[in-house]
Amino acid sequence: MLCFTTAGESHGAALVSILEGMPAGVPLLSSDVDAQLARRQAGYGRGRRMQIESDQVELLSGIRAGETLGSPIAMLIRNHDWRNWQEIMSPAPLDGEETEAGRAQGRKRAVTRPRPGHADLAGMLKYDRSDARDILERASARETAARVAAGAVCRTFLSQLDVSIGSHVVALGDVVARAPEDFPPDLNVVADRSPLRTLDSDAEARMIQLIDEAKRSGDTLGGICEVVANGLPVGLGSHVSWDRKLDGRLAAALMSIPAVKGVEIGLGFQAARQHGSTVHDEIDAAEDAVSRGRLRRRSNNAGGLEGGITTGEPLVVRVAMKPISTLMRPLASVEMTTRESAPSTVERSDVTAVPAMGVIAEAMVAFVLADAMLEKFGGDSLAELQRNRRGYLLYLSGRDTGHG
């Protein structure tokens, strides 16, 4: 239904994002995308690169007069840092590079001592590259700006179908945020006010302290974000085949975010440690809960998914990120030109990017949910899709028997 691809190196000229399959008539302004790009750039613990960049999208195609056309949407985000890297990243051969000997000399800023944890080493071996820059430029999480651009379009589309998506940081290193009694109605309004994007101000102070300590000792940190999507109807995704199950599709999309090592839905791993009687969400009739089939759950341990299908309860997904693999106090590695032990290369980087990861996870969830909406309701235009959705809600309301 919906697909997107990205292109671009971290210190190349620009990032490109192409989203195909969006119906016509979705209202979209570049400021909608820019707002999400700005959220991704924020967060305590980021490095100097985020001071150089102020990501802004150029809408190249697929949108006219503030509405999507149904054609591929191409978006460009220029890298401001490109001006400092033009020679190093030049697509054309530099003087002397035409010869084997010239190439063997390498370019400035060549990376030959791969960083444990990054794609450097596996990529060098797989792609037969002597300079890990040929790998790391694309493996860099800079690419996620292009994902957030595609996700911003999906988010705008979803908002037309009454779906909203937010996230917050639930753990940074070993500091765990307390879960709020009640979620704020607009999660991001509250989370975005915190430099850690957390709802627990006590934990926030300890997280800041932990990041400052890690920075002083040349170390890095990971953490966990929780993404919540509200307003989904029962019935997105399917139980019938492995690749149509929405939980699997969400997990795959989220696991593809750089440095993400785990995804939990609802209770997640905790469910495996409890009895069934404390895990499964009991059911009550609720005439007013139309988008849930006039039924309601007493709890939402399933995180809004059963059998790979949305239940109509909020979707709750947690995403775990390992610590950034570029350490200012480098780990042991090998100088690949001599095969001798050497400390790994030190590149400018972040102490942590967990707050940004939440924004990226929102974008990936928005993409998967937009795809599932298109699959369920079809339509070449937003209006057609909304008509189909209204028909489904009418059926769920019990007023439409479905027999003409």
Assigned token pair, 278: 């404390």
CB neighbour list of residue 54: distance below 8 Å, 6 or more residues apart = 38, 41, 80
Residue 197 or 292 having the CB closest to ligand EPS: 197
Question: With CB under 6 A as the contact rule, which of the stretches 141-149, 151-159, 290-298, 327-335 interacts with ligand EPS?
Answer: 141-149
User: Which residues in the 65-84 window bind ligand EPS by CB under 6 A?
Assistant: 81
**CB-CB contact of 44 with 350 (8 Å):** no
Q: Does 9 bind ligand EPS (CB under 6 A)?
A: no
Residue 40 or 245 having the CB closest to ligand EPS: 40
Q: Does 349 bind ligand EPS (CB under 6 A)?
A: yes
Instruction: Tell me the C-alpha distance between 295 and 129, whole Å.
Output: 57
Q: Does 291 bind ligand EPS (CB under 6 A)?
A: no
Q: Which x/- pattern over 13-52 shows residues binding ligand EPS (rule: CB under 6 A)?
A: ----------------------------------x-x---
In 350-381, which residue ranges form alpha helices assigned H by DSSP? Answer: 354-377
Assigned token pair, 240: 């019938």
Instruction: Tell me the C-alpha distance between 297 and 299, whole Å.
Output: 5
Q: Does 326 bind ligand EPS (CB under 6 A)?
A: yes
Residue 136 or 366 having the CB closest to ligand EPS: 136
Question: With CB under 6 A as the contact rule, which of the stretches 95-103, 177-185, 348-356, 394-402 interacts with ligand EPS?
Answer: 348-356
| Minimum CB distance to ligand EPS, residue 215 (Å) | 14
Q: Does 10 bind ligand EPS (CB under 6 A)?
A: yes
- CB atoms inside a 10 Å sphere around CB 329: 10
Q: Which x/- pattern over 144-173 shows residues binding ligand EPS (rule: CB under 6 A)?
A: xx----------------------------
Handedness of CA 26, 29, 33, 39 (dihedral sign): negative
Q: Which long-range contacts (CB under 8 A, 24 or more apart) does 205-213 make?
A: 206/175, 207/44, 207/169, 207/172, 207/173, 207/175, 208/44, 210/172, 210/173, 210/174, 210/175, 211/44, 211/45, 211/172, 211/351, 211/352
Assigned token pair, 208: 């800041």
| Minimum CB distance to ligand EPS, residue 140 (Å) | 3
**Is residue 115 packed enough to be buried (19+ CB in 10 Å), middle (13-18) or exposed (0-12)?**
buried
Q: Does 142 bind ligand EPS (CB under 6 A)?
A: yes
- CB atoms inside a 10 Å sphere around CB 48: 10
Which of 350, 371, 374, 376 forms a contact with ligand EPS (CB under 6 A)?
350
| Minimum CB distance to ligand EPS, residue 228 (Å) | 23
Q: Does 353 bind ligand EPS (CB under 6 A)?
A: yes
Which of 33, 37, 63, 141 forms a contact with ligand EPS (CB under 6 A)?
141
Which H or E element spans position 385? helix 382-397
Q: Does 358 bind ligand EPS (CB under 6 A)?
A: no
Residues at the contact surface with ligand EPS, assessed by CB under 6 A? 10, 47, 49, 81, 140-142, 144-145, 324-326, 347-350, 353
